[in-house]
Amino acid sequence: MAGALSIAPAPVLKAVPRCRKSIKAMVSVRASSESSDAPSSSSTTTREAPKTPDLSVTFSPPPNFKPPEPKRFGVRSDKLLDVLGASLALIFRLGTGVFVSGYSASFASENEIPPGQYALDLAGAKIKETSRIGPRPEKPIEIYEFESCPFCRKVREIVAILDLDVLFYPCPRNGPNFRPKVVQMGGKQQYPYMVDPNTGVAMYESDEIIKYLVTKYGDGNVPFMLSLGLLTTLTEGFAMIGRMGRGSSYRPSKLPPKPLEIWAYEGSPFCKLVREVLVELELPHLVRCCARGSPKRQMLYEKAGCFQVPYLVDPNTGVQMFESAEIVEYLQATYAL
């Protein structure tokens, strides 16, 4: 192996897929401690009762649907501005959420990478990536939040850094399902709200959630970019300017019986575009975090024959697919009303 390569966290837009087989089949930043979105007494209205999944409804892919093949650094021309807008977060947040805690990388020769092992291809060179992760929770952490909230983004970043799997319950404005549930569980409409089924702990306040997660599932240290108080919150808000509040308001949808599964990480602009739609349609989804250095990159490589994110697994229809633009279209065609 050649000498170690020290890589500073830098914006990484999209992983290069290394395939073994073809694939078938307006941000408002508050100076207060948290974003509550609590309705004022003068604007209180009767809310729609939470829906329960209709088990009699059969979900199926759109007519003539065929999962697309993954493309190397492919951006559809009609999505270029969307990707650029989502990429602003990498600049304002200095790549926070792109790398797992303790990330390191080193050059490796072709012979050092056995067949079937994932490695980063960089201009023909092979790079092995590693990280240092803490204890793993037996059950996924549950978080109630929405995409365009800066406080929620803080928590999503630490989730990526700690390489945790999280079951997200989207709470867009006017969402009929999970906003009322948060009030029932915690007593107030404030986000993010975390429930750890492994310990029974449930809490509001993003900074407290971050401290809890790094203590329980990390090394106990809050990353620098998440420890700057108001400056952290301001840069989180600026990070979302390019998307102009996408992922904040509910769009009528059909609630599926099972959560969707998405392999993604917070620092990827391609993953952000998919997450926005998942939140707007209020679709519960299990995020398999796989930032740079995550051992789950190898898991996805073995599962799909290729590493690239986002990667969607829909247990309600059997669909498994790459490519953010096509995933967005699939979600809208399958679940939007």
Listed by start position, the domains of the chain span 77-99+135-335
Cα distance between residue 9 and residue 292, in whole Å: 10
Cα distance between residue 55 and residue 57, in whole Å: 5
pLDDT tens for 179-214 read 999 999 999 999 999 999 999 999 999 999 999 999
Contact 319, 65 (CB under 8 A): yes
- To the nearest whole percent, how much of the chain has pLDDT over 90? 76
- Whether the per-residue pLDDT at 3 is higher than 50: the answer is no
Q: What angle do CA 280, 286, 255 make, to 5 degrees?
A: 45
Q: Lowest-confidence range among 15-19, 111-115, 306-310?
A: 15-19
Q: What is the DSSP string of 210-266?
A: HHHHHHHHS-S---GGGSSTHHHHHHHHHTTGGGTTTT-B---BPPPSS-EEEEE-T
- Whether the per-residue pLDDT at 53 is higher than 90: the answer is no
Contact 144, 169 (CB under 8 A): yes
* Average confidence (pLDDT) over 253-267: 97
- Whether the per-residue pLDDT at 26 is higher than 60: the answer is no
Indicate the pLDDT class of residue 113, thresholds 50, 70 and 90. Answer: confident
Q: What is 77-99+135-335's CATH number?
A: 3.40.30.10
Three-state DSSP class for residue 19: coil
Mean pLDDT of the residues in the chain: 87
Contact 287, 165 (CB under 8 A): yes
